[in-house]
Amino acid sequence: MITILLFAHLQDEIGQRELKLDITEITVKDLKQTLTESYHLTQMETTMVAVNEEYALEYDIIHAGDVVALIPPVSGG
Amino acid sequence: MTEKLFEIVDQPIQVNTLISKVASRNAGAITTFIGTVREWTKGKRTLSLEYQAYIPMAEKMLKAIGDEIQEKWPDTKVAITHRIGHLEISDIAVCIAVSSPHRKAAYEANEYAIERIKQIVPIWKKEHWEHGETWIGDQLENVPYPTEKPEIEGDIL
């Protein structure tokens, strides 16, 4: 099981703050693909992924138990 | 007293608190940057803003910016607080205080901090306009990252 945290427009699109997916192992890239296809999340191409609070790369592997955050372009300040 | 130098809060920011966090007998200057909620942006009127953050990671990234500043301007002290939640026009969204022995480093490091906040800290603002609302960062004010992730200094890609 991996936990996926949603923010900004992604949270609005799904209507909830997090998702739990029954996945043992997946790359960042494949996860983004899956979320685009299954949950119709938009703008995933500009969305960063953080795994356990660290920015991750496309081919990093996410494991069961990890907390993944989807991070659209930030706009703080 | 343990106070957090890098903090996300949901209450009004007290600028004096940040100033006292960086105050030092070695300091000859303290600069503060105060980011406030603007009413008009390119002819569009903002009624209020809502900020959201991935709090634990946002505080970590603020700390990372502090570390970068220590590298570049070694004798500075930095404190950054960003507010989240509902903010009205003129409310303080972010405050950065930097102290240093001489003023130049305090000015430079302070500007560096706000630029980095806009690049790597997971905070988002939603504009409540007169006619609707939008999460910013998806189209208007921000460009997508040129590389697959924000560049963090000292991080090996």
Q: What ipTM was reported for this prediction?
A: 0.96
User: Residue A7: inside a domain, yes or no?
Assistant: yes
Predicted confidence at residue B155, as pLDDT, reads: 44
Predicted confidence at residue B121, as pLDDT, reads: 97
Q: Which residue has the tokens 């992924």?
A: A49
Question: Which chain B residues touch A27 with a CB distance below 8 Å?
Answer: none
User: Residue A54: inside a domain, yes or no?
Assistant: yes
Q: How many domains does chain B have?
A: 1
User: Residue A77: inside a domain, yes or no?
Assistant: no
User: Residue A76: inside a domain, yes or no?
Assistant: no
Give the C-alpha separation, B64 to B24, whole Å: 22
User: Residue A59: inside a domain, yes or no?
Assistant: yes
Q: How many domains does chain A have?
A: 1
Distance from CA of B11 to the nearest CA of A (A): 16
Q: How many CB atoms lie within 10 A of CB A46?
A: 16
CATH number (domain holding residue B59):
3.90.1170.40
A58 vs B148: CB contact, 8 Å cut-off?
Answer: yes
Token output for B124: 């988002």
User: Residue B109: inside a domain, yes or no?
Assistant: yes
| pLDDT tens sequence for chain B (157 residues) | 568 999 999 999 999 999 999 999 999 999 999 999 999 988 899 999 999 999 999 999 999 999 999 999 999 999 999 999 999 999 999 999 999 999 999 999 999 999 999 999 999 999 999 888 989 884 344 444 444 455 555 443 3
**Sign of the alpha-carbon torsion through A9, B61, B30, B23:** positive
Containing structural domain, residue A65? 2-71
Query: Is B156 near chain A, with CB under 8 Å?
Result: no
Containing structural domain, residue B63? 6-135
Can you list the residues of chain A whose pLDDT is less than 50?
none
Global pTM reads 0.90
Give the C-alpha separation, B154 to B130, whole Å: 43
Radius of gyration of chain B (CA): 16
User: Residue B149: inside a domain, yes or no?
Assistant: no
Predicted confidence at residue B153, as pLDDT, reads: 52
A69 vs B54: CB contact, 8 Å cut-off?
Answer: yes
Q: Chain A residue closest to B53 (CA)?
A: A7
Give the C-alpha separation, B5 to B18, whole Å: 8
Token output for A29: 């890239």
CATH number (domain holding residue A42):
3.10.20.30
User: Residue B82: inside a domain, yes or no?
Assistant: yes
% of chain A surpassing 90 pLDDT = 96
Answer yes or no: are the C-beta atoms of B111 and B37 closer than 8 Å: no
